[in-house]
């Protein structure tokens, strides 16, 4: 009975495992100062190349700066 359960649940366990790994990667990406700074540089490059307008640049820059501030606060509180 347990062998059949394992066989039937293997695909579900695989999907859960992949979901957890994706979540870990996203958490790491969102909490890495270097990654956020890189995104800020890419954003600035897009603005300088006229790929985005000033309003969009300001909006996205504010979001990234707030995220960077949150990451730094979390690191200080550890």
Domain boundaries, the chain: 22-77
Higher pLDDT pick, 27 / 35 = 35
Compute the distance between CA of residue 35 and CA of residue 43 in angstroms, rounded to an integer.
12
For residue 47, the model assigns a pLDDT of 96
Q: Kindly report whether the global pTM for this prediction surpasses the value 0.85.
A: no
Contacts for 72 with CB less than 8 Å, ≥ 6 apart: 33
Position 1 pLDDT exceeds 70:
no
Compute the distance between CA of residue 59 and CA of residue 66 in angstroms, rounded to an integer.
11
Position 69 pLDDT exceeds 60:
yes
Mean pLDDT of the chain: 87
């Amino acid at each position: 009975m347990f062998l059949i359960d394992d066989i039937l649940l293997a695909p579900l366990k695989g999907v859960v495992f992949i979901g957890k790994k994706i979540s870990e990667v996203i958490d790491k990406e969102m909490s890495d100062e270097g990654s956020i700074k890189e995104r800020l540089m890419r954003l600035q490059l897009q603005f300088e190349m006229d790929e985005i307008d000033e309003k969009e640049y300001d909006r996205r820059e504010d979001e990234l700066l707030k995220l960077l501030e949150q990451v730094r606060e979390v690191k200080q509180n550890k």
